Amino acid sequence: MNATAATPYAGDKAALVIRALLDFRSLWTTHDLVTTSGVPAQSVRRIVDRLEQEELVERRAPGVVTVPGWLALLRRWNEDFRFTRTTRLTYWRTKPGARPVLDRIPTTPIRHALTGTQAARHWSPETPSGPTVIYTPDAQAAAIAWELVPAKTGSIVLAEPAADVVYTRARKTSTGLRLAAPSQVLADLLTGAATSPRAADPLSQWMQEHELDWRY
């Protein structure tokens, strides 16, 4: 069995389609998924057909599907698309005397999306503390702009993603800091962005209880 067959949802196209299915409450046509995800129709049909075989989407009419349970879909996606498998991680600390990194980030033009426990606490304040995990395409450039120095292990983790899907539908705070979308944050917490997958429990509960607040 080849790697693609073993992990059908590990690629960028599957991630874009699945994130669309997670982030919106909708009856989906192929055209709608193509428009929202940016993935070609042939690939969308192949991904949706596989999801239907696994009962992760339901067909309501010819060419129309919906997601019966977003959490089941997210957990299945996590089996293939994992934080620790799809990112290059480096460890940092702030320079002595520098302002906290989350205060400095919005003052720079560096692309970013906060994930992990710090992002989760925006929606579920009871999330346990953990490292500050930040998606950015160029860790070295970000470290210079944000006044960080390398560390063997550290409270700041810069994550260079293999796919730009992690920046999709990011939320912006009042200070200008960008947070990865709740579905991405939860997926990351469950697959290595926290010291324990149990750190995801408060956010998972909040998302189940407040679906209208994060699914468009």
Quick: pLDDT tens for 8-45. 999 999 999 999 999 999 999 999 999 999 999 999 99
Domain with CATH 3.30.460 in the chain: 83-214
What's this model's pTM, rounded to 2 decimal places? 0.96
pLDDT band at 1 (very low <50, low <70, confident <90, very high): very low
Domain 83-214, second-level architecture = 2-Layer Sandwich (3.30)
Tokens for 153, please give them. Answer: 């292990």
Rounded to whole angstroms, how far apart are CA atoms 98 and 11? 38
Domain with CATH 1.10.10.10 in the chain: 3-80
The CATH code of the domain at 3-80 is 1.10.10.10
Q: Are 9 and 161 in contact (CB under 8 A)?
A: no
DSSP state of 57: S
Rounded to whole angstroms, how far apart are CA atoms 74 and 71? 5
- What confidence tens digit (pLDDT) does each residue in 114-171 have? 999 999 999 999 999 999 999 999 999 999 999 999 998 879 999 999 999 999 999 9
